[in-house]
């Protein structure tokens, strides 16, 4: 009977090593004393290191007895002995530590919860759905994604960029869905970075995007873990970076920049309607200045007579052509936006509320 149990434990251990390969946050610890040895396998991003050290590693050397150590582990209500490999993998992915001791496999719940350090999203707001966002701690961000994407196909690869800053990166992808040619090209471009300091995800975007002068970006930044998980499930790659609260998602297409998480939560018809509104707003924003110049200066007969006379009356006191008027108006709006972003909050609110440009227009 002991031989069968040992065979099951060794088989489970080989299964874990096979399933969890190419996952950079896997931790394996070998514990030895005079009585015997134990082996720990767990995900660093999902397990609380304090619980692992206090309840497993320190206790192993304090008790100095394999039988007492096993009894200690079984005394926890959250401990269990998995029945098959699927149960073993499922519990490890949600934050359990696999303990190989005395030819047996035990699981101890040591899930890490980072609720205190996670703040609500500030730039990508949603009406429904989760409201948490990434932080500047790369381990916390990894934990947020793994909590939502519990499969061994989710691979993590660690890299370091910046000769002086030595900034840590994590490349995350679903091995079964990712385009491996895109993954290979991303690793190549990251390895070719020749810069001293990397402090934000936007810098990686600027250095890795080719050609550098292009109209539409091929990478997207997001602060929402649920959006990152959704893109990973669609075969895209996420690049996590230490000291920044944004994650780089690639490759990104034009439609990605007009998609919100509310579109996935709402009913399909409502989601399509909301997306259609965004495209209509894009068309109006791009075409309206040029149409205004064309209708007022070159082809006023296209409009109705009442509208034409109304526009002509409003422009009677303006000594500049309509093209200059539109350009100046667009620049004034950009000045206001830049002032609201760059100036201190008290000054920017005053500039937006009492600006002569705003009252003029």
- In this predicted structure, what is the pLDDT of residue 139? 86
pLDDT of residue 232: 93
Q: Provide the pLDDT for residue 239.
A: 92
Which residues on neighbouring strands pair with residue 31, listed in sequence order? 38
> What does the alpha-carbon distance between residue 91 and residue 59 come to, in Å, rounded to a whole number?
22
**Structure confidence at residue 229 (pLDDT):** 92
- 325 vs 351: CA distance, rounded Å: 22
- Whole-angstrom Cα distance, residue 236 to residue 227? 11
For 148-188, how does the pLDDT look when each residue is reduced to its tens digit (9 = 90+)? 998 888 999 898 888 888 888 999 999 999 999 999 988 88
Give, in order, the Cα–Cα distances in Å from 247 to each of 94, 134, 142, 222: 22, 8, 11, 5
Residue 211 to residue 291: CA distance in whole angstroms:
32
Residues of the chain falling short of pLDDT 70: 1-7, 115-116, 211-212, 345-361
For position 341, what pLDDT does the model report?
A: 75
Question: Can you give the pLDDT at residue 236?
Answer: 93
Give CA–CA dist 47/50, Å, rounded. Answer: 9
Whole-angstrom CA distances from 97 to 106, 183, 307, 317, 358 are: 8, 30, 73, 77, 60
pLDDT for res 21: 81
Q: What is the pLDDT of residue 123?
A: 80
Per-residue model confidence (pLDDT) at position 18: 84
CA 84 to chain centre: 33
Q: Quote the pLDDT of residue 237.
A: 93
Would you tell me how many other CB atoms lie within 10 Å of the CB of residue 268? 9
pLDDT for 321: 79
Q: Is the peptide bond before 251 cis (omega within 30 degrees of 0)?
A: yes
- Non-local CB neighbours of 98 within 8 Å, separated by 6+ positions: 12, 16, 40, 41, 42, 88, 92, 105, 106, 107
What is this structure's pTM?
A: 0.78
Q: How many angstroms separate the CA atoms of 329 and 326, rounded?
A: 5
């Amino acid at each position: 009977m002991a031989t069968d149990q040992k065979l099951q434990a060794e088989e489970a251990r080989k299964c874990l090593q096979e399933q969890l390969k190419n996952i950079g946050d896997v931790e394996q610890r070998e514990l030895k004393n005079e009585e015997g040895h134990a082996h720990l396998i767990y995900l660093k991003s999902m397990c609380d290191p304090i619980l692992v050290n206090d309840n497993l590693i320190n206790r192993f050397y304090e008790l100095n007895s394999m039988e007492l150590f096993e009894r200690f582990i079984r005394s926890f209500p959250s401990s269990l002995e998995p029945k098959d490999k699927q149960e073993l993998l499922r519990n490890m992915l949600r934050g359990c530590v696999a303990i190989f001791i005395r030819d047996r496999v035990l699981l101890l719940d040591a899930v890490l919860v980072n609720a205190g350090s996670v703040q609500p999203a500030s730039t990508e707001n949603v009406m429904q759905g989760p409201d948490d966002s990434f932080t500047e701690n790369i381990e916390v961000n990894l934990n947020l994604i793994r909590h939502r994407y519990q499969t061994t196909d989710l691979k993590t690869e660690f890299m370091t960029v910046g000769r002086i800053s030595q900034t840590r990166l994590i490349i995350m992808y679903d091995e079964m869905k990712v385009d491996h040619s895109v993954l290979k090209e991303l690793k190549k471009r990251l390895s070719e970075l020749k810069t001293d300091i990397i402090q934000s995800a936007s810098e990686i975007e600027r250095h890795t995007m080719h050609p550098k002068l292009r109209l539409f970006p091929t990478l997207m930044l997001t602060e929402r873990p649920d959006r990152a998980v959704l893109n990973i499930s669609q075969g895209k790659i996420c690049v996590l970076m230490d000291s920044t609260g944004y994650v780089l998602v690639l490759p990104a297409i034009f439609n990605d920049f007009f998609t919100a998480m509310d579109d996935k939560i709402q009913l399909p018809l409502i989601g399509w309607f909301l997306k259609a509104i965004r495209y209509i707003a894009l068309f109006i924003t791009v075409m309206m200045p040029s149409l205004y110049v064309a209708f007022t200066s070159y082809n006023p007969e296209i409009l109705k007579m009442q509208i034409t006379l109304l526009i002509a009356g409003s422009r009677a006191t303006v000594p500049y052509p309509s093209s200059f008027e539109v350009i100046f108006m667009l620049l004034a709006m950009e000045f206001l936006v830049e002032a609201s972003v760059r100036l201190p909050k008290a000054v920017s609110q005053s500039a937006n509320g009492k600006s002569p440009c705003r009252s003029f227009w």
